[in-house]
């Protein structure tokens, strides 16, 4: 059974979903690719509690790695892409081309982008750390303002200065 609960965060409400095998989903309020929640039930378990606690630490700037049982569902290719996301260090970025090379499919840049877009565990599997080859912030299911916020939080982008003087 998949249990779910909503939590508040600095990037808006997040819906967490987990079953006994691990964390299955983290959804933003306006997810680009909504999930069928037909088999989800409101509730709580140790995985959801740990996820909420670790996300709070992440947003407070005291956690740089997540230690959660993960259970994303996807194709073999998607799972390889999502595993590669976990290897991008906190405070760093990678490009879609670098991710394609990292999974041994250098010609699959567009497919890597599509798999990132379907990542069911954003933030924990940090697809926000993947940017365009030219450094542009592109393609994030939670929206580009959220991607920018997360990268600034991690120090991967300079903090904004108020005013010029």
SS3 for 107-140 is CCHHHHHHHHHCCCCCCCCCHHHEECCCCCCCCC
Give pLDDT tens digits for 37-72. Answer: 778 899 999 999 999 999 999 999 999 999 999 999
- State the span(s) of the chain assigned CATH 1.10.10.10: 76-153
For domain 76-153, the CATH class is mainly alpha
Q: Which CATH number fits domain 2-60: 1.10.3470, 3.30.70, 1.20.120, 3.30.160?
A: 3.30.160
Tokens of 146: 């959220």
Give pLDDT tens digits for 73-115. Answer: 999 999 999 999 999 999 999 999 999 999 999 999 999 999 9
Which residue's entry shows tokens 């690719």? 33
How many Cα atoms are found within 13 Å in the side-chain-facing hemisphere of 130? 30
Active site residues: 127
CA 138 – CA 148 distance, rounded (Å): 10
Q: What is the pTM of this model?
A: 0.90
- State the span(s) of the chain assigned CATH 3.30.160: 2-60
């Amino acid at each position: 059974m998949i249990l779910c609960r909503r939590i508040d965060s600095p990037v808006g409400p997040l819906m967490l979903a987990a079953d006994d095998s691990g964390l299955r989903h983290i959804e933003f309020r306006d997810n680009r690719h909504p999930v069928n929640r037909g088999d989800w039930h409101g509730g709580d378990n140790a995985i959801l509690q740990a996820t909420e606690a670790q996300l709070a630490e992440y947003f407070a700037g005291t956690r740089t790695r997540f230690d959660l049982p993960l259970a994303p569902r996807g194709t073999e290719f998607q799972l390889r892409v999502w595993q590669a996301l976990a290897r991008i260090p906190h405070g760093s970025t990678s490009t879609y081309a670098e991710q394609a090379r990292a999974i041994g499919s250098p010609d699959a840049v567009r497919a890597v982008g599509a798999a990132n877009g379907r990542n069911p565990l954003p933030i924990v599997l940090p697809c926000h750390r993947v940017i365009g080859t030219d450094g542009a912030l592109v393609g994030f299911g939670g929206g580009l303002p959220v991607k920018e916020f997360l990268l600034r939080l991690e120090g991967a982008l300079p903090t904004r200065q108020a005013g010029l003087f």
